[in-house]
Structure 1
Amino acid sequence: MASFVAALGVAWFFTLLVLRVSKRFAHLTNDHDLDGPQKIHASPVPRVGGVGIFLGCLVAIGLAGERSGGWLMACAIPAFGTGLWEDLTKRISPRMRLTATAVSALAAGYLLGALLKRADLWGLDWLLTFTPLAVLLTVLAVAGIANAINIIDGFNGLASMCVVIMLAGIAYVAQAAGDPLVFRLALVGAGAVLGFFLWNYPAGYIFLGDGGAYFLGFYVAELGILLITRNPTVSPLFPLLVCIYPVFETLFSIYRRIVVRGRSPSMPDGIHLHSLVFKRLVRWAVGSSDARLRTRRNSMTSPYLWVLCMLSVFPAVLCWDSTEWLLAFLLLFSTGYVLLYSRIVRFKTPRWMILRR
């Protein structure tokens, strides 16, 4: 618990410091694009909130003397650094960010042994006995989750609170499985994110940015892999169900862009599930151009998706040692997501879900 409090306090302080410094270097740190398809903010906002989170984790892990945690933070540098450089320069392509995250995953696999070597699924376990295939699947999983966290980072508090929920689930199962290392690292991550969250929600004084999103995606993915690598009783599907909301959002977005709209999967659009919730469920401020009301409407969107995230994390925590049940909940969540998206996009949202004045 001391590490949790330390991470929260350090992240809160450094996020405040970044906010102060950003006033002087706004041309570098602020997001000035207010017209993009996924841009909701009404004025330029610093998008380097990942700095406070990274430093919060680094300091708390250092104070706790967690050697493995130190190696994990070292491995995260390519993913975090490339994302942060994009936040500052706007010149780093998604491919370069994913490549850097893959390098981080390879480093963690080599230094910490964080490799996916079992899936508890027929046929796949045999394939994973071949180390090159295990390395490839690990890299794809880590880079994919990092990109997924970046995709859901669209509203104040959305991605950060979802990550807290995921890390809380991982911490609980690590404690139940008797893994103090993963337990402490999960608490450190949750504390650091909450330190940032206090500045990000509800007013949106600072954004997570690509550096923060890619770092948190890497951190969550690696803790999930370490948990199942170090504890044979934990089902390999547990981390997947914990992260299924951002992962399925990404997969569904790729399907929607390529198959439905005939566009490149890397082209941004404004019809993610969280965007539709903002436009069609939080109706009380629709059409308002007032910055205060727009910010409030922004903050009212995220709780819908926090609930969606919890609907996957709760069953994952309850059934962490049962691959069969976890697989059933994965299918249930995927089906429910598609049905919910279909109803919202066709203006058939249940009346009880719509927020009115």
Structure 2
Amino acid sequence: MINVLAASLAMSWLLCFGLIIFKHAHQHFTTDHVGSGPQKMHHDATPRIGGVPIFAGLLIGMVILYFGEWQINSLFMVYSILPVWIAGIIEDLTKKVSPLKRLIAAFVSALIGMWLLDAKLVRLGTPLLDQLVTSYIVLNALMIMLAVGGITHAMNIIDGFNGLAGVVVVMILSALSYVSYQVNDIFLLGQCIALIGATIGFLFWNYPKGTIFAGDGGAYLWGFMVAEICVMLVYRNPTVSPWFPLLLVIYPVWETVFSIYRRKVIRGLPAGLPDAIHLHSLVYKRMVRHMIGSKEGAHMIRRNSLTAPYLWGLAAFSIIPATLFWSSTPVLMLFVVLFILCYCTFYAMIVHFKIKPWMTVGGRKQCPNEKERATSEV
């Protein structure tokens, strides 16, 4: 596993380095430009094809695992990844692949995984649903599409600041690695280690300065792999509670559910309309007070890098108990409810300007006109 980690990390690191060094040769179709969307919080034109080195790092790890006599399913995992990863990369290059088409690609990948890897949902923690999904293969397929596609899309939602999604993914994969080791599932342990290495190689260049972004290709790759490993871990190991993976990914999943509710019900807007009032966006605007309003590149990068740690801490609030109580369904269900309550409380505190001074960084107070502008955005 050390060889897998080292090879994946080195491949991802080197390809990121090459993409950054030769940015001038491809920047006309691979970069994210300043002000190109409501969720853009960077200063310079930046390559957004980090999904390429992440996939390459994962692939080299898969190759090493494939030649291990008990890892032949690694080839099938690559086949499953391709549709959703390709859709994400095409979007990064053309900006013409709609969220619906990317979601359909995630559904296709989920069905391929169900066919080749036998990744099915047979335990949901409720007797009636468990009986239904095991009795009707079509219902099982629909549930797999919903679960895998939903988590895949949710990971893209939280990919808004330097290091945010990448570190959350490493935290989730570390928990999955631990439980895979505990139940002696070497195949899934290998998948986790390969993606951890590829992600760390990318994070070296992404955090804190954001010299390359994961883009949709990277975010959808992360989301699909996490979802697929979660499904397979529960299916292959009866001692693992089906609520363990739900608690692991509750932060991106609830961010997505809450965003749909906020847009559709509260604001009367299309559910898929991008906006800048996700939790991580509000943290950036109202809790990171380092040089508010400055357009200097160094100041924007500094504020960007100070945002992610808040959300890492929030994600840890679900990932740590999930890792500790991975086989106890009642405890895991309790922590799911507690996380949702904490998220909503935290969001409300920011929206209503109830954040305590010790919770902010940077020290500069917000001007009245800035407060009025922030209120109008929400």
1:234 aligns with 2:240: yes
Aligned to 1:48: 49
C-alpha contact (below 8 Å) 1:30/1:46 kept by paired residues: yes
Q: Distance in 2 between matches of 1:85 and 1:35?
A: 17
Aligned partner letter, 2:58: C
- Out of 93, 96, 103, the position equivalent to 1:91 is 96
Q: Report runs of 4+ in structure 1 exceeding 3 Å deviation.
A: none
143-152 or 283-292, larger mean C-alpha shift = 283-292
12-21 or 47-56, larger mean C-alpha shift = 12-21
Aligned partner letter, 1:306: W
Aligned to 1:108: 113
C-alpha contact (below 8 Å) 1:34/1:43 kept by paired residues: no
C-alpha contact (below 8 Å) 2:29/2:94 kept by paired residues: yes
Q: Distance in 1 between matches of 2:291 and 2:44?
A: 17
Q: Distance in 1 between matches of 2:4 and 2:257?
A: 35
1:337 aligns with 2:338: no
SS of alignment partner, residue 96 of structure 2: coil
Aligned partner letter, 1:217: G
Aligned to 2:84: 79
C-alpha contact (below 8 Å) 2:240/2:326 kept by paired residues: yes
Aligned to 1:38: 39
Aligned partner letter, 1:77: L
SS of alignment partner, residue 128 of structure 1: helix
- Out of 113, 126, 129, the position equivalent to 2:131 is 126
What is the correspondence of 1:9-48 to structure 2 with a 5 Å cutoff?
9-48=10-49
Q: Distance in 1 between matches of 2:185 and 2:48?
A: 34
SS of alignment partner, residue 246 of structure 1: helix
Aligned partner letter, 2:101: M
CA RMSD across the alignment: 1.0
C-alpha contact (below 8 Å) 1:58/1:70 kept by paired residues: no
Aligned to 1:201: 207
1:70 aligns with 2:75: yes
Greater C-alpha Rg: 2
| Superposed displacement of residue 33, structure 1 | 4.8
C-alpha contact (below 8 Å) 2:290/2:302 kept by paired residues: no
| Superposed displacement of residue 304, structure 1 | 0.7
| Superposed displacement of residue 61, structure 1 | 1.3
Aligned partner letter, 2:284: F
SS of alignment partner, residue 25 of structure 1: helix
Q: Distance in 2 between matches of 1:9 and 1:101?
A: 28
Q: Distance in 1 between matches of 2:127 and 2:102?
A: 33
Q: Distance in 2 between matches of 1:24 and 1:257?
A: 39
Q: Distance in 1 between matches of 2:236 and 2:24?
A: 45
- TM-score normalised by structure 1 residue count: 0.98
Q: Distance in 2 between matches of 1:149 and 1:293?
A: 27
Aligned to 1:302: 308
1:178 aligns with 2:184: yes
Q: Distance in 1 between matches of 2:39 and 2:7?
A: 34
C-alpha contact (below 8 Å) 1:33/1:44 kept by paired residues: yes
- Out of 256, 262, 266, the position equivalent to 1:260 is 266
SS of alignment partner, residue 322 of structure 2: helix
Q: Note the residue ranges of structure 1 that are not aligned, 5 or more in a row.
A: none
Q: Distance in 1 between matches of 2:113 and 2:12?
A: 24
Q: Distance in 2 between matches of 1:342 and 1:350?
A: 13
Aligned to 1:328: 334
Q: Distance in 1 between matches of 2:119 and 2:21?
A: 38
Aligned to 1:277: 283
265-274 or 31-40, larger mean C-alpha shift = 31-40
Aligned to 1:356: 362
Aligned partner letter, 2:179: V
SS of alignment partner, residue 218 of structure 2: helix
| Superposed displacement of residue 286, structure 1 | 0.9
| Superposed displacement of residue 35, structure 1 | 4.6
Aligned identity (percent) is: 46
What is the correspondence of 1:148-159 to structure 2 with a 5 Å cutoff?
148-159=154-165
Distance 1:290 1:33, change over 3 A: closer
| Superposed displacement of residue 117, structure 1 | 1.4
Q: Distance in 2 between matches of 1:342 and 1:183?
A: 38
Aligned partner letter, 2:230: G
Q: Distance in 2 between matches of 1:35 and 1:29?
A: 13
Q: Distance in 1 between matches of 2:10 and 2:187?
A: 21
SS of alignment partner, residue 192 of structure 1: helix
Aligned partner letter, 1:329: F
Aligned partner letter, 1:53: I
Q: Distance in 2 between matches of 1:64 and 1:261?
A: 48
151-160 or 55-64, larger mean C-alpha shift = 55-64
| Superposed displacement of residue 23, structure 1 | 2.0
C-alpha contact (below 8 Å) 2:34/2:42 kept by paired residues: no
SS of alignment partner, residue 134 of structure 1: helix
| Superposed displacement of residue 63, structure 1 | 1.8
149-158 or 22-31, larger mean C-alpha shift = 22-31
3-12 or 251-260, larger mean C-alpha shift = 3-12
Q: Note the residue ranges of structure 2 that are not aligned, 5 or more in a row.
A: 364-378
**What are the superposed Cα offsets for residues 8-41 of structure 1, whole Å, 9 maximum, x if unpaired?**
1111111112223432011110012525211101
1:7 aligns with 2:8: yes
